[in-house]
Amino acid sequence: MEFFPALEHARLLRRYKRFLADIELANGEQLTIHCPNTGSMLNCMREGGQVWFSRSTDPKRKLPGTWEISETPQGRLACVNTGRANALVEEALRAGVITELAGFTALRREVAYGEERSRIDFYLTFEDGPAYVEVKSVTLGYPDTAVAAFPDAVTQRGAKHLRELAALARQGIRAVQLYCVNLTGIEAVRPADEIDPAYAQALREAVAQGVEVLAYGARLDATGIVIDRRLPVLLTA
């Protein structure tokens, strides 16, 4: 995924009201831009740190841009626009980068399923049956470790998705939880027991019932993002 035009660079002044961020450009101009992240953004931003944003040309938009990439307190880069994850995964799926899911004959997005009225991110058709793939964007890193964690805030919705996937797996239907790690300098992923123990437990229970768990890391900078490597998932508490 290429950013075109290339992202603009600024300094973060503050994030507030969840969806707003004030930034300062190199020429001293200050802007308020959209923050497309509903999570806590724990450990992936700092006031005074570098940010990169996309500029909007839509005259109907209230805000002139969207926050895309953040410099973390650990000096990593994080893609904070969670809406990018599914597009990145689709690109990787179609390119055959995610080898465990290669060979599908059709791909559909946002397909309704499950007893709890969910929508699966990707419904893949294979010759031997379908695969349901749920995607989560991972941006939570910690100092002195290359292991990222998910989630960065309590997520009842995420636990619901795991229950839905587990129900499919019990029926013999292929169900996959895929973590898209949009954070540089990461070598593995784990559930964030310290933030949401209920989600972490739901993940382990889902795996025990047959849900596949995959994690893939991305290479990112101001010019673009691309999923490029498989990462291990560490489930031991």
Q: Show the 3-state SS of 134-202.
A: EEEEECECCCCCCEEEECCCCCHHHHHHHHHHHHHHHCCCEEEEEEEECECCCCEEEECCCCCHHHHHH
Instruction: Report pLDDT for 148.
Output: 98
Characterize 70-104 residue by residue with b for buried, 16 or more Cβ atoms within 10 angstroms of its Cβ, and e for exposed. Answer: bbbebebbbbbbbebbbebbbebbeeebbeebeeb
Residues 190-210 have pLDDT tens digits of: 999 999 999 999 999 999 999
CA dist., res. 227 & res. 106, Å (int): 20
Instruction: Report pLDDT for 57.
Output: 83
Residues 61-79 have pLDDT tens digits of: 899 999 999 999 999 999 9
Say if residue 87's pLDDT is above 90.
yes
Residues 29-52 have pLDDT tens digits of: 999 999 999 889 999 999 999 999
Residues 150-195 have pLDDT tens digits of: 999 999 999 999 999 999 999 999 999 999 999 999 999 999 999 9
Left if phi > 0, otherwise alpha if psi is -120 to 50, otherwise beta: which for 16?
Answer: beta
Instruction: Report pLDDT for 237.
Output: 65
**What is the CATH architecture of 82-231?**
3-Layer(aba) Sandwich (3.40)
Place of tokens 């593995």: 188
Could you say which DSSP state residue 101 is in? G
Two tokens, residue 38: 């509903």
Do residues 189 and 149 make contact, with C-beta atoms less than 8 angstroms apart? Answer: yes
CA dist., res. 44 & res. 51, Å (int): 11
Say if residue 234's pLDDT is above 80.
yes
Instruction: Report pLDDT for 12.
Output: 98
**Pairing assessment for the beta strands 212-221 and 174-181 based on DSSP bridges:** parallel
**218: β partners:** 227
The CATH number of 8-74 is 2.40.50.580
Segments of the chain assigned to CATH 2.40.50.580: 8-74
Instruction: Report pLDDT for 46.
Output: 92
Segments of the chain assigned to CATH 3.40.1350.60: 82-231
Q: What is the mean pLDDT of residues 76-94?
A: 96
